[in-house]
Amino acid sequence: MPNFSNESALRYGFTLDKSCFVDIGMNAQIVMSLVNTFICHPFPLFILIRKSPSMNKGIRRLYIAMHGAFITYEVVFFFFVRIYAILPYTGLYCEGPFCRMGLSNSIVWGIIAFPIVTVQPPFAYLIVSMHQMFVTDGSPWKLSQRVKILMVTVQGTMMALNVFTFAFFGREPDNMDELMEEPELAMLAERGGQLLLFGNPGNPQFFLPALLFFYFSLAVNFPILCMFFTHSMHSLKKVFKSAKSTQTQLLTKKMFEVFFWQV
112-163 per-position pLDDT tens digit: 999 888 888 888 888 888 778 777 777 888 888 888 888 888 888 888 899 9
pTM of the entire predicted model: 0.80
Whether residue 250 lies inside any domain: the answer is no
Residue 7: what pLDDT?
Answer: 61
Is residue 262 assigned to a domain?
no
Would residue 13 count as lying in a domain? yes
- Percent of the chain at pLDDT > 90 equals 24
Domain count, the chain: 1
* Backbone φ, ψ for residue 96 (5° rounding): -75, 175
Cα separation, 41 vs 60, whole angstroms: 14
Average the pLDDT over 19-34 and give the result. 91
What would the mean pLDDT of 226-255 be, rounded to a whole number?
Answer: 66
Instruction: Kindly state whether residue 60 falls inside one of the protein's structural domains.
Output: yes
Q: For residue 2, what pLDDT is reported? A: 44
Question: For the segment 156-201, what is each residue's pLDDT rounded down to a tens digit?
Answer: 888 889 999 999 998 888 888 888 988 899 999 999 999 999 888 7
**How far, in Å, CA of 187 to CA of 182, rounded?**
9
- CA 27/CA 73 separation, integer angstroms: 17
Q: Given this model, what pLDDT does residue 155 score?
A: 84
Range of the domain at 146: 4-220
C-alpha closest to that of 84 among 93, 73, 96, 75: 93
Query: Does residue 17 belong to any structural domain of this protein?
Result: yes
Residue 5 has a pLDDT of 40
- Exposure string for 166-186, b = 16+ CB within 10 A, e = fewer: bbbbbebbeeeeebeebebbb
Extended beta strands in the chain, E state: 83-85, 90-94, 194-199
Q: Smallest Cα–Cα separation from 189: which of 172, 202, 165, 170?
A: 172
Between β-strands 83-85 and 90-94, what pairing exists: parallel, antiparallel or unpaired?
antiparallel
Question: Quick check: is 74 in a domain?
Answer: yes
Most confident of 74-83, 202-211, 237-246: 74-83
pLDDT over 60 at 208, yes or no: yes
Inside any domain, residue 260: no
10-19, 46-55, 120-129: which range is least confident on average?
46-55
Task: Judge contact between 84 and 26, C-beta under 8 A.
Answer: yes
Give pLDDT, residue 108: 94
Comparing CA positions, the residue from 69, 102, 58, 87 lying closest to residue 194 is 102
* 182 is a domain residue: yes
Given this model, what pLDDT does residue 67 score? Answer: 87
CA dihedral 119, 125, 129, 132 (to 10 degrees): 130
What's residue 107's pLDDT?
93
Q: If you count them, how many residues does the chain have?
A: 263
Q: Which pLDDT does position 167 carry in this prediction?
A: 92
* Coarse DSSP helix, strand, coil percentages of the chain, rounded to the nearest 5 percent: 70, 5, 25
CA torsion angle 15 111 198 30 (round to 10): -10
pLDDT at residue number 4:
37
